Structure 1
Amino acid sequence: MHTYKLPTKQHDLDFHKPIERWDEALPLGNGLTGCLVWGNGAPLCLSLDRGDLWDTRLVPEVRDAGFTYRQLAELVRAGDQQQITRRFSDFFSEYPNPTKLPAGRIEFHGGAAESMTSQLHLREAMAEVNWQADEVSYRIETFLHAENGFGYIRLSDSEAQNKLQFKLRAPAYSDSSHLSHDSLALLGYPDADYGRAEGLYWFIQRTSHELEYAIVAAERNTSDRTTEWVYVVASNHDGDDWLEIAKSKAAAAVISGFDAALASHLSWWERYWQKSEITIPDSEMEKQWYLTNYLFGSCSRKGAPPMPLQGVWTADEGKLPPWKGDYHHDLNTELSYWHYLKANHLEEGESFLDFLWDLRPAAREFAQSYYESEGINLPSVMTIDGKPLGGWPMYSLSPTNQIWLCHAFDQHWLYTGDRVFLETKAYVYLKETALCMLDLLVRGEDGMLQLPISSSPEIHDDSLASWLTPNSNYDVALLRYLFTRLTQMSEFLGMAEERNRWSAIAETLPELAIDGSGFMLSPDERLLESHRHFSHAMAIYPLQTVLYSGSAAEKKVIDDTIAHLEELGKGMWVGYSFAWMATLYTRQGNGEAARYHLQQFWQHLCSPNGFHLNGDFRRTGLTQFHYRPFTLEGNMAAADALQEMLLQTNGGIIRPFAAVPREWLEKGAEFRRFRGEMGILISAKAAKGRLEHVHLQAEQGGVFLLENRFDTGKLTVERNGVVVVMECSIGGVCPILLEAGEHCTVRGGSK
């Protein structure tokens, strides 16, 4: 009988004073809708968001005939920084649109709290706020239903019913009293129209383009002690008569009631939590892993848009969201979807792949208009519909960032072993990307292929120095990865002619630039200062084309690269840098350094509610960035690093507890149902300084390679009640054949 470890109270968020900021709020979400619960009771705010609320109006500059890669390359060669900035970058900050939009608020106006507690119950995905003001006690419970799209609120207390006022509030689109460069009022929208009928409240927000949306809430007094509300964020994306349908459905949902909806909501989350689990002696790190998986399940769902920078929690402070809440492909979207495969949350992660796949027409159009090429390529800073926002062009318009998106398709194939997905999606997406690259690559004087212009996110910021001598290691690593993986995929699929084509191209790509500092930025430049983005080290992670277990030269370059990053220091790092660095340390098997950097990340660069705020906002001296713009990629990258400490499966070799502190092995550590390559689910336990067992469950049949990390060369493999003894040297690789659906348990020793 299966037993599952579900989140408990120790994993919950628990606050004992009012939450004063939206980016420290209790977060709720169901993939499409988000809610942030915060405030002191005067009011208590539920800040709402919906993932597809976007102002997608493009600015004139991106429609200009000169908005092309060829024109950019000419300006770079001419050294005309002024024109580069004017024609490709400035408009990102000059215009408020395109941008992600907030939905608005629900507010409860009672008394300002004299005492207040706020809890986010992870297992139930439900927020609870209790406060007392003017001798009146208030208790609000609320959740966003995991499946039906509605939010539910319950107020329990007869006296509070008479004191608490319910209000809807639209965003400050028309408030021009405090205009700044990032005010929502710059969008030029009209005032919202408010309405009320028997038991119903709503506002409808019209915009300066085709979008209209509304928040609709239904109210019901269920007894003399309890009032319930049901709300929904609706829009004209929902079809004809969308507003009247939302009102009707909300009215019906509030009659069905809070408790009835809660039961099905809890069932969804219980299934979600059963996908994977960990137990480690560091309780704070364990809590952060569960919290991050909660955030992921809340803001990424199949059938809904994938998470942009802030997921479903757009800023609620009268301003445009940080970086307009867009989709950044020079790191942010990719890191946001690093961890889900190993955590075994396939459906939720497929939101990103479905999104990219459905945007292939937009990617093909952009490849034609901007790159003047075949194939597909998306802007690296883009809207929900795949259009460019602008920004520093060396990164917002880098062609090889598209290859980093390919990596998401490749990883999904590797971790599922789904041949149909490989043949119909992963291979197709990589091939169509390669067609664009082939139109851009030119022969250098040495006969090797290179890009006309090259860069490395986000080295040298927005300056002429950012254009590195082709090819940067970032570009080389991605190009070599793309054509090598296409070679391997086509060989696996039995496409001999295509295999030969891709292999020939891979052989004409230059090697990565290396010196005594490890990986360089480009053939004639090494990293000379602390920097937030480890783009030069892509081959180490996430691409893993250079392996610590490979040759002595590979091991040395990884060691040298990490040592050089240590020498340069953390002064110019942001939050995700710590998470990425932790993962680099896991390549060395250095669990102590990985743990330390994750602790620094969670302690100093995350809000009390877990949100990654990028900067050292408490000014502890950890980095020179003291701002606090909320983005999610650091959270997911940190979870990935912790998982890489517990289990590594690169190259098809299963390595349990490959990079954990010795203390964890002594005190006991366990993970269950982590996903490895080719559709294998892996569980393992260590205690008293040694590996106790590894359990393998195969979704796809095959031979699975387990590195012997036991303390003996004699192993037992138990399957179907039969125990077989195998000889395998310590540190050697033990092949285990499993049929689809079969499982086994491997232990050290002959008993």
Structure 2
Amino acid sequence: MNTHKAFLLGLALLGTSLVKAQFAMDAYKAVFTAPPQHVPTTKTPDAPLAGNGDIGITMGGTPDKLCFYIGKNDFWRAYPVYPGGIALPGGLDISIDELRGASYYAEQLPGSAEIAAKFSTSRCELKLSAWVAATDNKVIIELESDKAVTVRLRLWAAEGNTSITAHGIDKVMWVSRSFENTELLRWPTHVALALNSNTDKLSLTPGRKMQLVVSAYTNHDTPDWKKKAITEAGKVTESVIGQLRKEHHTWWDNFWKQSHINIGDSYFEKYYYQSQYLFACSSREGKFAPGIWGPFVTRDEAAWGGDYHLNYNYQAPYWASFSSNHISLTDNFDQPLLDYMEAGRKHAQELLNCRGIYYPVGIGPKGLCTAMWPLTPEEMLDKYATRENTIDGGYKFLGQKINAVFSVGNMLMRYYSTYDEAYARKVYPYLVACADFWEDYLSLENGRYVIRMDHFNEVMPNKRNGGVWRNRLGDFNSTLSLGLVRMLFQGVMDMSDFLSVDRMRQSRWKDILEKLSEYPLGIAEDGRQSLKNMERGPQNKDVQASGLNRVSIHGLILPGGVAGPVTDAGFNAILLDDVAHWVEKQREPNDWGNTSNNGIETCYPGAVRVGYPSDKILSYLKKRIEMNVYPNYWIVQGGGGIETFAAVPLTINEMLLQSYEDVIRVFPNWNSEKDASFENLRAYGAFLVTSTLKQGKIQGVTVISEKGRICKIENPWKGQAVLLMRKDKKTDVLYGEYLQIPTAVGERIELSLYTKP
């Protein structure tokens, strides 16, 4: 029996008990049999992980000298240049001499959202549980030994990098770390960690569990951040921990109830659920959005500052959450983008004489730009082989005008998935500001709108090119840009209609959509028609058609959503043929799509959407995962971090359900000979869809309509009549390739194959 079937059977047998339900989901656990080798790191840790979407813990070290690194999404060194960005608050060291040379066994449990470990020597056996309270700013570490041992504790704050640290004992141990009063700092950040102990040496006796609790607060949580951390640590009792555990289990139990899939493949199901666990540990409603490495920061100077990288890294981690019905995890996405609008308007006006907003490649929270060039010519020469540090006013745009629009894709995914009016009103000004910019920036030439000097790839000086880079400027009609601009204007028109605003502007937007240049095609080296990265390259040179790839997928498919088999079957056939030739272009034997550096969460679901066979995709995906993955199920790539959490869930979801082309398609790209089912996947139109495929036949489709919109669905039983049943048992028989079904708010409808009485 595969693990998902065991999970469902477990729920049926064990009833509603939250504790018992968590053990069923814990069947998808990750197992560690050796201490982590990549902790601390500036990139991806390979250790057991837990988190609550704000605070993350990374369990490093060896059994006798454990180190829990405590990261927090809102602890930033708010510099406009690297090495600013996300910083490490500190951690807790736990030392037990009797465990020197102990065996190592740990589990990362997605159901209970905890790290469970057991370390053994001839002198003692220690059991450990560590979790971050889902509803509070507390890390809980529980220790239990079969022999009397001494536990030495060190609560510490990371030091250096212009920070100020302090420590003390005020009934409990506490440490603090602050970034303040330095010349470049845009805003101060303070953090305090407090431990529910006033001594650094404790005795652990058999049969008695030791409960260590670290309370963590920043000035972004509360003005009384230090007092709050100390006070909360001092209030810890067994009953407090018991209540936190109850709330913790309830939160995670509700999270896992939001959707399910069963594909009869325990390998991919484990990655599916572990990936969602890791992202739920990284992102939470009402908290700062996660950067490139989420809250799993184990040292300062994280790669790329751990910032919000706007040309895909920031957006991609969220993509699977929309279709997986984990909408609350996406709630923090928009605020950094809205906070940067004032600066974005200045960039547009001062640098390009355009209205609207123009964003650099990297930003942070609270209106912070993280991506300025080094502030002196000497630093610039050292890092980028040129003294010219005033490129684009000193900001890293890297030749790209599209960074602000990239995030519109996520906003539209949430809007189309929920039709939440309050959300639409919140983000609509951002979409309009993007539209303002592109109304001004587009050029109408020979009856069509064209895009000049918005580059398909990043263009910048570096040591590899000797600081010479301007000869690489000049992209004309980048496929990335054409796709995202088309997405923008279609989206702003849809939202304008929904909110009944700006109707007078729609004629201009329609004109742009009608006259925007077509996606460039050409003849590939093997003589077939293929996609080009751009219509013409630098110095107005022709470019070879190189086919669909990660960057062009961003414009056309994810997050663009402007191409597909329903939208334009002929164009989609060209893209599908391009994907079929990826195997000939892979640079490494197991790297189909060339995603070792970036793009596993883009290329694999992109291939699904254009219709490449699912079995082949999964075969290639498994090889790519095994090429570089850590025991914590974090798929590793060179150019980014938590975006890989979306790779497996999004790929599977798109195989089971698609809706991005204004039509719901059930099992659109799944091998019909393989049984599969899904429950409450979210479709555009604010629909929750459930269906089962068994013995080659779709058994039925259930749709819950949240907003009472018309449900347009591709006939699941092609060429046959469909029986529609509503809640009141009223039935109707439907015919056709596409079924358009009026629904009411909250209504549940059921579709099945119609058989004549």
Query: So what's the TM-score if we normalise by structure 1?
Result: 0.84
| Selected match of 1:16 from 33, 49, 53 | 33
What is the identity, as a one-letter code, of the residue corresponding to 1:122? P
Kindly indicate whether residue 460 of structure 2 is the aligned counterpart of residue 482 of structure 1. no
Q: Secondary structure at the match of 1:265?
A: helix
Indicate yes or no: 2:243 matched with 1:260: yes
Deviation at 1:585, TM superposition (A): 2.0
Contact 1:521 1:536 in 2 (8 A): no
Post-superposition CA distance 1:57-101 (Å, at most 9, x none): 235xxxxxxxxxxxxxxxxxxxxxxxxxxxxxxxxxxxx432211
1:734 aligned residue: 739
CA contact (8 A) 1:647 1:658 kept: yes
Query: Does structure 2 conserve the Cα–Cα contact (< 8 Å) formed by 1:578 and 1:600?
Result: no
Partner of 1:306 in structure 2? Answer: 289
Instruction: State the one-letter code of the partner of 1:265.
Output: H
Q: CA deviation at 1:674?
A: 0.7
**For residues 130-169 of structure 1, what are the structure 2 equivalents within 5 Å?**
130-133=118-121, 135-157=123-145, 159-160=147-148, 162-169=149-156
1:389 pairs with 2:371: yes
Q: Distance in 1 between matches of 2:35 and 2:222?
A: 39
* 2:169 matches 1:196: yes
Give the structure 2 partner of residue 557 of structure 1: 574
The answer (yes or no) to whether the contact 2:493–2:506 under 8 Å persists in 1 is yes
Q: 1:663 to 1:696 in 2, by over 3 A?
A: same
- 1:181 corresponds to: none
Alignment partners' CA distance in 2, 1:551 and 1:437: 25
Q: Which amino acid aligns with 2:212?
A: W
> 2:473 matched to which residue of 1?
467
1:11 maps to amino acid: Y
Shift of 1:580: 2.0
Counterpart secondary structure, 1:414: helix
Does 2:646 match 1:670? no
Question: 2:554, 2:602 within 8 Å by CA — same for their partners in 1?
Answer: no
Shift of 1:205: 4.8
1:171 corresponds in structure 2 to 158
Q: CA deviation at 1:370?
A: 4.2
> Match of 1:28, SS?
strand
The letter for the 2-side match of 1:313 is: F
2:595 is aligned to 573
Conserved 8 A contact 1:582-1:593: no
1:519 paired to 2:531: yes
Kept after mapping to 2: 8 A contact 1:364/1:376: yes
Separation in structure 2 between the aligned mates of residue 165 and residue 366 of structure 1, nearest angstrom: 53
The answer on whether the counterparts of 1:578 and 1:597 sit within 8 Å (CA) in structure 2 is no
Question: Is the Cα–Cα contact under 8 Å of residues 56 and 97 in structure 1 kept in the other structure?
Answer: no
Change (3 A) 1:388 1:20: closer
Count of matched residue positions in the alignment of Structure 1 and Structure 2: 678
Letter in 2 for 1:643: N
Alignment of 1:213-612 (within 5 A): 213-219=191-197, 225-254=208-237, 256-316=239-299, 320-384=301-365, 385-390=367-372, 396=398, 398-422=400-424, 424-444=425-445, 446=446, 448-458=448-458, 463-464=469-470, 466-494=472-500, 495-517=502-524, 518-524=530-536, 525-526=542-543, 533-535=550-552, 538-571=555-588, 572-574=594-596, 576-589=598-611, 590-612=613-635
Cα distance in 2 for partners of 1:535, 1:386 equals: 29
Does residue 85 of structure 2 align to residue 99 of structure 1? yes
Q: Is the 8 A contact 1:540 1:558 kept in 2?
A: no
Q: Deviations over 1:482-534 (max 9, x none)?
A: 22333344345555421112112333432211123422111135467799743
> Kindly tell me: are residues 536 and 748 of structure 1, through their superposed partners in 2, closer, same or farther at Cα, counting changes over 3 Å?
closer
In 2, the alpha carbon distance for the partners of 1:320 and 1:559 equals 41
- For residue 407 of structure 1, report the CA deviation from its aligned partner: 1.6
Paired amino acid for 1:247: I
Counterparts of 1:289 and 1:661, CA distance in 2: 18
Would the alpha carbon gap of residues 244 and 493 (structure 1) be closer, same or farther in structure 2, given more than 3 Å must change?
Answer: closer
Determine if contact 2:723/2:754 at 8 Å carries over to the other structure. yes
Q: Deviations over 1:669-689 (max 9, x none)?
A: 111001111111001111112
Q: Could you report, residue by residue, the CA deviation over 1:247-297 in whole angstroms, capped at 9, with x for unpaired residues? A: 011111346443231011111111111111111111111111111111121
Query: TM-score if structure 2 supplies the norm length?
Result: 0.83
Question: Does residue 1:120 correspond to 2:127, yes or no?
Answer: no
SS of aligned partner of 1:155 = strand
Give CA deviations for 1:382-404 in whole Å, capped at 9, x if unaligned: 23333141479886462212111
CA distance in 1, matches of 2:327, 2:655: 21
**CA shift at 1:171, angstroms?**
2.5
Contact in 2 for aligned 1:468/1:522 (Cα 8 Å): no
Task: Give secondary structure in 1 for the equivalent of 2:423.
Answer: helix
- The one-letter amino acid paired with 2:277 is Y
Kept in 2: contact 1:579–1:601 (CA 8 A) = no
Cα offset, 1:337, TM superposition? 1.6
Q: CA deviation at 1:311?
A: 0.9
Residue 654 in 1 paired to residue 664 in 2? yes
Deviation, 1:35, is 0.7
Task: Quote the offset at 1:634 in angstroms.
Answer: 1.9
> Secondary structure of 2:511's partner?
helix
CA–CA separation in structure 2 for the residues paired with 1:145 and 1:369: 46
Q: Partners in 2 of 1:728 and 1:113 — Cα distance?
A: 70
Secondary structure of the corresponding residue to residue 159 of structure 1: coil
Per-residue deviation, residues 90-127 of structure 1 (Å, max 9, x unmatched): xxxxxx43221111221111123421211122111111
Q: What is residue 85 of structure 1 aligned with on the other side?
A: none
Distance of aligned partners of 1:264 and 1:523 in 2 relative to their CA distance in 1, 3 Å threshold: same
Task: Provide the rounded CA distance (Å) in 2 between the counterparts of 1:576 and 1:457.
Answer: 13
- C-alpha separation in 1, matches of 2:441 and 2:731: 56
Are the aligned partners of 1:202 and 1:215 in contact in 2 as well (CA < 8 Å)?
yes
- Across the aligned residues of Structure 1 and Structure 2, the Cα RMSD in angstroms comes to 3.0
Identify if the C-alpha distance between structure 1 residues 449 and 549 changes in structure 2 by more than 3 Å, giving closer, same or farther: closer
Tell me the amino acid that sits aligned with residue 512 of structure 1. Answer: Y
Match of 1:74 in 2: none
Q: Distance in 2 between matches of 1:656 and 1:238?
A: 43
Share of identical aligned residues, percent? 21
Q: Deviations over 1:569-591 (max 9, x none)?
A: 24453254333222222123321
**3-state DSSP class of the match of 2:272?**
helix
Matched, 1:715 2:746: no
Counterpart amino acid of 1:607? Y
Deviations 1:690-727 (A, max 9, x none): 11111111111122122222377132223226263524
Distance 1:492 1:252, change over 3 A: closer
Cα distance change, pair 377–394 in 1 and its aligned pair in 2 (3 A): closer
Q: 1:204 to 1:158 in 2, by over 3 A?
A: farther
Residue identity matched to 2:289: P
Structure 2 runs not aligned, ≥5 long: 1-7, 40-44, 374-383, 385-394, 463-468, 525-529, 537-541, 589-593
TM-aligned CA distance change 1:661 to 1:605, over 3 Å: farther
Relative to structure 1, is the Cα distance of residues 113 and 531 closer, same or farther in structure 2, using a 3 angstrom cutoff? Answer: farther
